[in-house]
Amino acid sequence: MKANTLFVKLIVLFLLGSQFGIARPNQTSAQTVSKNSTKYNNTLLGENVYLFDPSMNMAGIQTLLDTVYNQQSGRKSEFSKKRYALFFKPGKYKLDVKVGFYMQVYGLGESPDDVVIEGAVRSKSTNKSGNVLTNFWRSAENLTVIPTVDSANIWGVSQAAPLRRIHIRGDLQLHDGGYASGGFLADSKVDGTIFSGQQQQWFTRNSIMGKWLGSNWNMMFVGVKNAPKENWPKNPFTVINEVPTIREKPYLVLDKKGYCLKIPLLTQKSVGISWENKLTNEKTMRLSEFYIANPTTDNAESINSALQKGRNILFTPGIYAIDKTLKVTHAGTIILGLGLTTLQSTNGNPILELSDVDGLTVGGLMFDAGTKASETLLKVGETNSVKSHAKNPTFLFDVYFRVGGPMEGSTSSCMIINSNDVFVDHTWLWRADHGNGVGWDKNKSANGLIVNGNAVTIYGLFNEHFQEYQTLWNGNNGRVYFYQSEMPYDTPTIDAWKHDDKYGYASYKVSEKVNSHEAWGLGVYCVFYHAPVPVSDAIETPPTLEKNLHHSIMFWLNGNKESSIKHLINNSGESVNVDHRKTMLE
């Protein structure tokens, strides 16, 4: 598309405003994006994908970055309809890249060291308290940062804000002076010290760091070089030396032929980063093998048509209204989203169903429940799936779910995994506790996650506020590495949250029929604002499996002073309440 044509199109979209989901905190800043975006825009991957080159004027890039950030920062932007992917070609830049809601910062080199940003790639608080408890839905991937703006590169976040394939040539700070509540770091290298500060819980996998300083509730390290020494519960560290099985998230590269996708291969018993010394253990796919979806022109029918032809799908940034279930039936299909792509159910339908086939990949997608209730939003495999996929498993990377928040919505569950040998590498399932359409009888959802398949493994499971079990595990040989869960805030009465002879629902439930299950670093927290809820247990599991749940913690955060959780696991562990707020078990 010619530059002047694109300029006109951007102005038209601006004038149409919210019809196309354009967030406009003020007219001046929106106009600035339009006027300065033309030369940075990459129309192949969507109107909100900007491509930067180190030969460009740094002041011009900085102006555009700041304008996007000003639109995407602050509480008013938390449920913005805008989505951005900010791409950097290999080379060196001097920039302060501030990252707000729905912003993905992405290096396009073969190695993170190919894109070097001197300055910062940072996520900070937008209030005087320094709290970042709602710094959600953002990411940085595949680049190097030399911190010069602050004493350390500050990545103050809570859920759904991963760092992947990042090299910090200095220190990394996981807070901004106030409270922070959960994060994910993978396949990354930090030359200096990682300061956790008031970060409450954090999961780190396959990384290298100079040193870790700080502790709070629940910190887990799997396959991490120079991880702190485990000393639970004095220091809340869980350290596992090797990652049993992993395949890193696919990543985009821009080479002489154009865009391609690098797909890392499956590894066993891995430690540290995958990209050290530029060792290759991956295959390459050109972008021509993908159907490029666009939120303004594509719908469920066009996307399903591409899927039926065996095409892979790359969603360009935006919000997609999905009125019919997207069905993946071909083995090896890859479905990726850019810039926090969001898929919304609009007809009471599941959004995405994956058949019980080998080697599927889904990553970088957000699933929103709609006003018409769904059975679930993402289903992996058909009911009673029995096939083994051990040699070529399915992987889900950075998949997020919302029930309420941007709008009123309901679903019985967010994700059901029926297939065997499925890996989930970072997920946040969230029944909204604030935002739009929020209330016990508005954003209804019983469960966040239901696992029926065998040999399902999850690295980094964040699951919060659902109205029955947050996690219900029915399959055998499951493994969970790190769990963060808050029970629902808005339980109206004691009687509204009872079942059988028990008060409330456990957050983490392993069903009675399961004979093999193991988990590490399980954190369950409660805030009951309305009712004096006396929950029986935070975790329930068959008695024979209690020994397989390692390093568990529950914490009474706030709320009704008569509320409590009586036991941590199966009548074991002291109660937590306003007077005794924390309990930890080996």
CA distance 317 to 295: 7
pLDDT tens, N- to C-terminus, the chain (586 residues): 433 333 333 333 333 333 323 222 333 344 445 555 667 876 689 889 999 999 999 999 999 999 999 999 988 999 999 999 999 999 999 999 999 999 999 999 999 999 999 999 999 999 999 999 999 999 999 999 999 999 999 999 999 999 999 999 999 999 999 999 999 999 999 999 999 999 999 999 999 999 999 999 999 999 999 999 999 999 999 999 999 999 999 999 999 999 999 999 999 999 999 998 766 678 999 999 999 999 999 999 999 999 999 999 999 999 999 999 999 999 999 999 999 999 999 999 999 999 999 999 999 999 999 999 999 999 999 999 999 999 999 999 999 999 999 999 999 999 999 999 999 999 999 999 999 999 999 999 999 999 999 999 999 999 999 999 999 999 999 999 999 999 999 999 999 999 988 899 999 999 999 999 999 999 999 999 999 999 999 999 999 999 999 999 999 999 999 999 999 999 999 999 999 999 999 8
Is residue 17 one of the residues assigned to a domain? no
CATH number of the domain enclosing 458:
2.160.20.10
Side-chain-side CA neighbours of 561 within 13 Å: the count stands at 1
End-to-end Cα spacing for the chain: 60
Q: Assess contact for 514 and 494: CB atoms under 8 A.
A: no
- Report which of 462, 572, 579 is spatially closest to residue 525, judged by C-alpha positions: 462
pLDDT (0 to 100) of residue 1: 41
Q: Give the CA-trace dihedral at 13, 252, 186, 448, to 10 degrees.
A: 50
Whether 486 is catalytic:
yes
3-state helix, strand, coil in the chain (%, to 5): 15, 45, 40
Q: Which of 198, 215, 246 is the last residue of a domain?
A: 246
CA distance 343 to 341: 7
Q: Are 375 and 465 in a shared domain? A: yes
Q: Alpha carbon 29 to chain centroid distance?
A: 28
Q: Assess contact for 465 and 488: CB atoms under 8 A.
A: yes
Is residue 298 one of the residues assigned to a domain? yes
Q: Are 300 and 395 in a shared domain? A: yes
pLDDT (0 to 100) of residue 21: 31
Q: Are 227 and 303 in a shared domain? A: no
Is residue 11 one of the residues assigned to a domain? no
SS3 19: helix
Q: Alpha carbon 421 to chain centroid distance?
A: 21
Q: Are 372 and 506 in a shared domain? A: yes
pLDDT (0 to 100) of residue 40: 81
SS3 10: helix
Is residue 25 one of the residues assigned to a domain? no
Show the domain range for 469: 286-585
Strand residues in 258-318 grouped as ranges (E): 258-264, 267-270, 282-286, 290-293, 312-315
Rounded to the nearest 10 degrees, the angle between the axes of helix 3-16 and helix 27-37 is 160
Give the pairing type, strands 189-195 and 172-173: parallel
Is residue 426 one of the residues assigned to a domain? yes
Q: Are 319 and 232 in a shared domain? A: no
Tokens standing for 118?
A: 């001197």
Residue of 486, 518, 540, 574 marked catalytic: 486
Q: Are 339 and 442 in a shared domain? A: yes
Q: How many domains does the chain have?
A: 2
Is residue 254 one of the residues assigned to a domain? no
Q: Assess contact for 171 and 190: CB atoms under 8 A.
A: yes
Q: Are 545 and 495 in a shared domain? A: yes
Q: Are 242 and 370 in a shared domain? A: no
Q: Give the CA-trace dihedral at 150, 156, 160, 161, to 10 degrees.
A: 10
Q: Are 447 and 501 in a shared domain? A: yes
- Report which of 284, 341, 367 is spatially closest to residue 139, judged by C-alpha positions: 341
Is the peptide bond between 54 and the residue preceding it cis, with omega within 30 degrees of 0? no
pLDDT (0 to 100) of residue 278: 66
Edge-to-edge, what's the strand order for the sheet holding 258-264?
Answer: 251-255, 258-264, 282-286
Contacts 24+ apart (CB under 8 A), 169-172: 169/144, 169/145, 170/145, 170/146, 171/147, 171/195, 172/209
Q: Are 135 and 239 in a shared domain? A: yes
Is residue 389 one of the residues assigned to a domain? yes
Instruction: Tell me how many helices (H) and strands (E) the chain has.
Output: 4, 42
Q: Are 544 and 457 in a shared domain? A: yes
pLDDT (0 to 100) of residue 38: 61
CA distance 471 to 483: 10
Q: Are 224 and 297 in a shared domain? A: no
Q: What is the 3-state secondary structure (H, E, C) of 38-96?
A: HHHECHHHCCCEEEECCCCCHHHHHHHHHHHHHHHCCHHHCCCCCCEEEEECCEEEEEE
Give the pairing type, strands 502-503 and 312-315: unpaired
How many CB atoms are located within 10 Å of the residue 362 CB?
23
Is residue 273 one of the residues assigned to a domain? no
Tokens standing for 400?
A: 């997020």
SS3 284: strand
How many CB atoms are located within 10 Å of the residue 59 CB?
9
